[in-house]
Amino acid sequence: MLDSIGLHYDVDPVFYWHHFDTSKVQNTKDPQKKTAFLPSKAISLELSHLAYEHASIMFVRSTEPADGPYTTLILLRHPRRCEASLLEFERPSCRIETSTADNLKRPIGSEQNLARRFIAILKSWDASKVEEANHSPLSFAYALAELLCAERMPRLRETGPLDRFRSEAFRGDRDFLRYSFEFEANLWDFALKMHRDSLERTLQSLRNFQLDATDGGSPDILVSLYKAVILDYETGLKIANDNLQAFYTIESRGISHRATVDALGVAEQSESVGQLTFLAFLFIPLSFVASLFGMNLQTLNSGSASIKSFITASIGTMITVVALLFVAPLLSRFAHALRRNLDGLRFRRRVLRKMAIITPIGAFWLFLYGLTHDPELFAPLVKELGIWVVLGLHEDWEEPEIITSRRTMPLSTFWEKRIIPIAEITKHRGWHETTFWQRWRDRRALTQAAPGPHRANE
């Protein structure tokens, strides 16, 4: 018995169970409702073919008389006039190939619905297949699951739609990226998740279904075929997950591409503004000089200004403008480098402040080095001197690498003479516990305690 209804009727499969011995379902619906039912034993198997086409298979055995034959009820629910489009992977060319019935070779999305194709498969069975199905109603479930899987796999393996989505995601059209990308991405996300979720539900239903529930023991051939269907669904689920992961990758790269396109647009606008500023800086003095040249020479000579002073002023103005055009980029780079170097000094100002108490001259040369060098060079120098480890990280002591074979800092002769004396101080453990004032007093005490030449003669 097979029935097919449209989803707009909103008929629940439990509706059919009210006529059978399913008291648990009836009590859930309405404990007080008394419905006439046939004393029977029912087993259900749910197969999902996408989210909008669902198959419910119920195996019903009458308990009066006991051990009666099973009746297989198959309920197919699907929407009427469902177009293929995006949810069907844009009308794939999948066909059901059989060797016994040519009328089954119909593409998905044709006028023949799933129920009619399944009925055609049942009509193509030979006598031995019918006899096997009479003894084991699970054959009907296997045939339907095989049909659903055969229609599902080709559309999952089709890569054309994802390739088209990839090409559209990386188009340079900003209007498309702005107005259409989110809508298309949401549709694809919804469609791919429908495929994956339906496969997961069907696979879970197949795994939980007991093969020996309908009869004392299913034939070995039927068991092996049923396991093959489960394996096909597992393969389809893997392909669906791969498609979904590929979609997420394309979507993220498309979003990054859109952000890059927008950033390039902003950069182009900034460059245009910079060019306009440059032209304004160039043509304002030229317009001033042109206005002076446009003055009446007789009027110019009648005043205190002369032609000679006018030409001299014009030439001086042009030379100043040209010089500024060449010098301005250099000054800009110098200001940028100075600002960057000051940021490096500001990051280690506390270390330099502590270093100034220990050795003011060394702190001065470190400050000057940081002011004239990039922070990427200043930071390793402070580390290799052992200053950052002690004053910045508050460690006990570390041997300065700048005076060992582990040295990596290249220094010129000028800076070599001024940096190495700092390492001579930091190479002693506990150097940070002294100050320049203490060291000066110690040296003075040693000088005064040493016997002079006149004391030695006495």
What average pLDDT does this structure show over 362-377? 86
Distance between CA atoms of 114 and 117, rounded to whole angstroms? 5
- The token duo for 201 is 């539900």
- 3-state SS assignment for residue 19: coil
The DSSP secondary structure of 61-97, one letter per residue, reads: EESSSTT--EEEEEEEEE-TT---TGGGTSS---B--
CA angle 104, 106, 107 (to 5 degrees): 145
- Neighbour-count burial of 132, counting CB atoms closer than 10 A to its CB (0-12 exposed, 13-18 middle, 19+ buried): middle
What length does the chain have? Answer: 458
Task: Give me the residues paired with residue 59 across strands.
Answer: 43, 72
The gap between the terminal CA atoms of the chain, to the nearest Å, is: 135
Q: What's the pLDDT tens digit per position in 78-129?
A: 554 444 333 333 333 333 333 333 333 334 334 356 677 777 877 888 888 7
Between the alpha carbon of residue 114 and those of residues 4, 106, 120, the distances in Å are: 9, 11, 10
Q: What is the pLDDT of residue 245?
A: 80
Residue 179, Cα to own-chain centre: how many angstroms?
A: 21
Task: Give me the residues paired with residue 6 across strands.
Answer: 78
Q: What's the pLDDT tens digit per position in 251-279?
A: 777 777 777 777 777 877 877 777 777 76
Which H or E run includes 272? Answer: helix 220-293
pLDDT bucket at 452, cuts 50 / 70 / 90: low
Which of 241, 10, 238, 198 is closest to 88 using CA atoms?
Answer: 198
Residue 437, Cα to own-chain centre: how many angstroms?
A: 59
- Neighbour-count burial of 380, counting CB atoms closer than 10 A to its CB (0-12 exposed, 13-18 middle, 19+ buried): middle
pLDDT bucket at 385, cuts 50 / 70 / 90: confident
Q: Taking 80 as the threshold, does the pLDDT of residue 392 lie above it? A: no
- 3-state SS assignment for residue 36: coil
Phi, psi of 132 (to 5 degrees): -65, -40
Q: What's the pLDDT tens digit per position in 172-199?
A: 454 444 445 565 666 667 667 777 777 7
Q: What is the pLDDT of residue 179?
A: 47
What average pLDDT does this structure show over 130-136? 72
Predicted TM-score (pTM) of the model is 0.40
- 3-state SS assignment for residue 166: helix
Q: What is the pLDDT of residue 51?
A: 45
The highest-confidence range among 100-109, 207-216, 352-361, 440-449, by mean pLDDT, is: 352-361
Q: What is the pLDDT of residue 105?
A: 38
Q: What is the pLDDT of residue 129?
A: 78
Q: What is the pLDDT of residue 13?
A: 47
Task: Give me the residues paired with residue 77 across strands.
Answer: 5, 54
pLDDT bucket at 447, cuts 50 / 70 / 90: confident
Contact 206, 199 (CB under 8 A): no
Q: Taking 80 as the threshold, does the pLDDT of residue 370 lie above it? A: yes
Q: What is the pLDDT of residue 18?
A: 46
Q: What's the pLDDT tens digit per position in 199-255?
A: 777 777 777 665 444 444 455 555 666 677 778 778 878 887 887 787 777 777 777
**Alpha-helix residue ranges (DSSP H) falling in 348-404:** 349-358, 360-372, 375-384, 387
Of residues 134 and 348, the one with the higher pLDDT is 348
Q: What is the pLDDT of residue 6?
A: 44
Q: What is the pLDDT of residue 183?
A: 59
CA angle 102, 106, 109 (to 5 degrees): 165
What average pLDDT does this structure show over 8-36? 46
- Neighbour-count burial of 309, counting CB atoms closer than 10 A to its CB (0-12 exposed, 13-18 middle, 19+ buried): exposed
Q: What is the pLDDT of residue 59?
A: 67
- Eight-class DSSP state of 98: -
Q: How many CB atoms lie within 10 A of CB 127?
A: 7
Task: Give me the residues paired with residue 42 across strands.
Answer: 60
What average pLDDT does this structure show over 152-167? 65
Helices 181-208 and 138-157 cross at an angle (nearest 10°) of: 150
Give the chain's mean pLDDT.
67
Distance between CA atoms of 51 and 230, rounded to whole angstroms? 19
Sequence-separated (6 or more) residues with CB below 8 Å from residue 417: none
Give residue limits of the domains in the chain: 2-266, 295-342, 348-449
Q: What is the pLDDT of residue 28?
A: 46
Q: What is the pLDDT of residue 268?
A: 78
Q: What is the pLDDT of residue 444?
A: 79
